[in-house]
Structure 1
Amino acid sequence: MGMSVPLRAITVFHAVARSGSITRAAEDLGVTPSAVSQQVQSLELALGTALIGKSGRAIVLTEAGERYFEMIGSEIDRIMEATQRIQGFRSMTTLTVRATPSLSTKWLLPRLSSFITAHPDIELRLDGTNEPTAFQKENVDIEIRHGTGGWPGLFVEGLVEESFRPVCAPALAAPGGLAAGDLPRHLLIHSVKSQVQWPHWFTRAGIAPAPRWRRLLFDRTHMAIDAAAGGLGIALESDLMLWGDLRAGRLACPLADPPRVTVVTQWVTCPPDHLRLHKVRAFLDWIRRERDAWAAERDALTTL
């Protein structure tokens, strides 16, 4: 006779492993932290191996804990979802979309109302995270990932070819009022994770910048864009991210004829089996339509 499967303890361990915290798991489950610890200990006893250890105040999974979590993660998520659906608690289908904070705030959010209106049955959860998704461990349906593409084993589709250009507040330099050679005299705003950096742009513009120039650095595109809109300096950014600010006149290109620098930096990605889900297909159809409409609008406004 094998012992009965300690399902309660398994779901408690899953909550701890997913949140990385006994306190947070306790909050999620509506029980005390000591009850959580007891359940995890009873599971460790049943399995005959330690699943979690401590590292300072944080908890860490042991190697066995990691492997166990990997094996049960998606199954427990499915059980929870099935249970909630039967309870009627989830008469809604939740679609979890992960995208960087910059793409989320600058491009996705201004467009979301059309998706929400078209799909009243889908509850959308937008997860603004820079970390690439570990799909087998995390409850994410689809990710718009910043990078160079080419992730084996995943469905990957480039969102759109973006055009990078210098921009600043019109009060700092009139649109078309500067030559490329004037730029190094201004404070240049850098997005440190951007795929198009100032030195590359200077090369494309055919100018040798001064050996030193004044820089202001950000690790988030949306912060660099807001800094430029605030008149702090000149940023080098993609028209996809700049769109709202260009349209509103908060930013403009200070060069009459900037060199054309184009690159795809945003990729829609998920495991191929997610494409079977109605909610994922609905989002893909929607984002492709939005992308096409955006590209048409951009191409019509060649003055930008």
Structure 2
Amino acid sequence: MSKFRPRIPHDYFPPFGGLKSFYEVALTGSAVKAAERLQVSASSISHQVKSLESELGVRLVENRKGRLFLTADGAQFFDQIKGPMSEILRATEAIRSMPGRKRISLTLTPSFAAGWLLPRLSDLERSHPDLEVNLVTTTRVVDLERENVDLAIRRGMGEWPQTVVTPLMREVIVPVMSPAFAQTIGGMALAEVLKTQRVLANTTVDAEWDHWCQARGFQPPAANQRYSLETYELTIQAAQDGLGIALGRRPLVDSLLSAGVLCAPFDLPDADNIGYYVARPDGAMRSDVKRFHDWLLTQRN
């Protein structure tokens, strides 16, 4: 069947809302994720893409088992517009920057932003008052080059393709609980605690308790002892509220431990090989990005 292509003038511009929605869907493969990035509803994204398809007279996106994929026409169209769309983003960021300030984009997880970076930004303001940082907080691994993001702080083993990484700090995972909860278990050994007490499980990290226990020779807690929470932040808050024992990530919980709202009563060796890294696209850094990159490295102690 031949495709219907409407007759349009040479200087015709498709609706920009449709272009934005299609661009984000092409980047993320998901209407939900595209909606999160544009701060609209997923149904709005779908409507905008369908309107763009109607305007152009071609199918750009197809749904395969719940995930969106570009058609051949969609891939060709995205390849042609991604450069101009990136330039529009760069121009927008430049025009939005405050006069005399350099705008830098950094992507990192919400937990790392709240637990480590935000308390340190006052030092950045004192040290580099001309730098303005735009935080992109997400658990998704952002494609820095395609999405025009300058830097990322990532958790892992330091192996991400097409990036240059610099170690920022090691992560040490420790069982944490409220002081009140610690009193209820007295001098109970950790192996016994894991058998008898409620364990708070962060579902964003697959089988976190299982991996942690296996690395240290403990029997993982039974399924009926685990209380699942959707984010790391909720898990740590539940621990502060005395609901059970959680796995805290140092340095993210250091301030809570220092404040006495959490405690880590079990002295265990570090058996993990996970850390935080500053990642950037391969290639030369702008001078302002390098200054921010180097400042991040001064904060690791």
Number of equivalent positions = 273
Counterpart residue number, 1:15: 20
Cα distance, 1:158 vs structure 2: 3.0
Q: Is the contact between residue 95 and residue 141 of structure 1 (CA under 8 Å) also seen in structure 2?
A: yes
Structure 2 CA distance, aligned partners of 1:209 and 1:81?
48
2:72 equivalent among 63, 70, 84 = 63
Counterpart residue number, 1:188: 199
Q: Is the contact between residue 105 and residue 222 of structure 1 (CA under 8 Å) also seen in structure 2?
A: no
Sequence identity, in percent?
28
TM-score, normalization: structure 2? 0.73
Structure 1 CA distance, aligned partners of 2:153 and 2:49?
35
Residues 218-297 of structure 1 correspond to what in structure 2 (within 5 A)? Answer: 218-255=229-266, 257-273=267-283, 275-292=284-301
Report the CA distance shift for 1:202/1:135 in structure 2 as closer, same or farther (over 3 A): closer
Structure 2 CA distance, aligned partners of 1:35 and 1:195?
34
List runs of 5+ in structure 1 lacking aligned partners: 28-33, 293-304
Report the CA distance shift for 1:153/1:232 in structure 2 as closer, same or farther (over 3 A): same
Q: Is the contact between residue 11 and residue 76 of structure 1 (CA under 8 Å) also seen in structure 2?
A: no
TM-score, normalization: structure 1? 0.72
Root mean square deviation of aligned Cα:
3.9
Q: Is the contact between residue 90 and residue 148 of structure 2 (CA under 8 Å) also seen in structure 1?
A: no
Q: Is the contact between residue 166 and residue 279 of structure 2 (CA under 8 Å) also seen in structure 1?
A: yes
Structure 1 CA distance, aligned partners of 2:115 and 2:163?
26
1:179 alignment partner AA:
A
Report the CA distance shift for 1:83/1:186 in structure 2 as closer, same or farther (over 3 A): closer
Residues 1-304 of structure 1 correspond to what in structure 2 (within 5 A)? Answer: 6=11, 8-9=13-14, 14-20=19-25, 44=56, 50=58, 52=60, 62-79=71-88, 81-82=90-91, 85=94, 91=99, 92-174=101-183, 177-184=187-194, 185-194=196-205, 197-208=208-219, 214-255=225-266, 257-273=267-283, 275-292=284-301
Cα distance, 1:266 vs structure 2: 2.6
Q: Is the contact between residue 195 and residue 265 of structure 1 (CA under 8 Å) also seen in structure 2?
A: no
Report the CA distance shift for 1:209/1:268 in structure 2 as closer, same or farther (over 3 A): closer
Q: Is the contact between residue 18 and residue 48 of structure 2 (CA under 8 Å) also seen in structure 1?
A: no
Structure 2 CA distance, aligned partners of 1:80 and 1:130?
22
Q: Is the contact between residue 158 and residue 264 of structure 1 (CA under 8 Å) also seen in structure 2?
A: no
The superposition leaves residues 11-66 of structure 1 with CA deviations (integer Å, 9 ceiling, x where unpaired) of: 666434335589998x9xxxxxx999998877x4xxxx7364587xxx98543333
